[in-house]
Amino acid sequence: MSVILFGFGLFIFYFVTHYLIWKIHIPRRQVQVLLMLFPVLMILGFLAFQLFLKGYEGDGSLFSLLFVEYLQGCLLFTVLFAAYIVTYPAIEIDSPSLVIITHVSDKGPTGLDKELLEKSLTDELLVKPRIEDLVTEKMIFIGQDGKYRLTAKGRWFILPFSFYRNLIGAGKGG
């Protein structure tokens, strides 16, 4: 149980810090900042836990951890963080499916006209902002000929997805 408490405790510390920073200012490259916070807050959280242990006067058996248990707790924190990071884009950016569902739901019992829905979801709304995000995230750049190209970061990022999709024989998705 100590391991679980330690791992979740680190994650709660991470989430609260992230929430407070976001209340002051939401960074332009949100996922980048979340990634940068991870190692910093893991170390700070660990140190805070050690300080707590020093000052704690009660029965410390719940909080005493072997080195290997600290490692397991850190692994738990890492996968909690990874799960949060892979979920975050869905919070940051509205998925088209959820937008469609919300539009339909908003119309209630009268329903939403099929053509109206399809006309309202344009390239300007669905594609262009995502291209701009990729430029902001430095995954792609615009060459002198005005064409978009992958940066090294973008290439390394997309390779696992491309490899996996080719491995299972699936199409390009999207």
Q: Within 10 A of 11 (CB to CB), how many other CB atoms are there?
A: 21
**Nearest Cα residue to 133 out of 37, 35, 28:** 28
Paired tokens of 88: 């975050």
Residues 85-144 that bind another protein (CB under 8 A): 86-87, 89-102, 104-105, 109-115, 117-118, 121-123, 125-131, 133-134, 139-140, 143
d(CA 86, CA 78): 12
Residues 58-87 that bind another protein (CB under 8 A): 66, 68-69, 71-73, 75-76, 79-80, 82-83, 86-87
Residues in the chain: 174
Q: Which is nearer to another protein, 55 or 160 (CB)?
A: 160
| Nearest-approach distance from CB 34 to another protein, in angstroms | 11
Q: Name the one range near another protein by CB under 8 A: 39-47, 52-60, 154-162.
A: 154-162
Q: Which residues pair with 140 in a beta bridge?
A: 150
Given 12, 22, 50, 51, the residue binding another protein (CB under 8 A)? 22
Residues 6+ apart with CB under 8 A from 74: 7, 10, 42, 46
Given 1, 20, 24, 152, the residue binding another protein (CB under 8 A)? 1
Q: Which is nearer to another protein, 55 or 174 (CB)?
A: 174
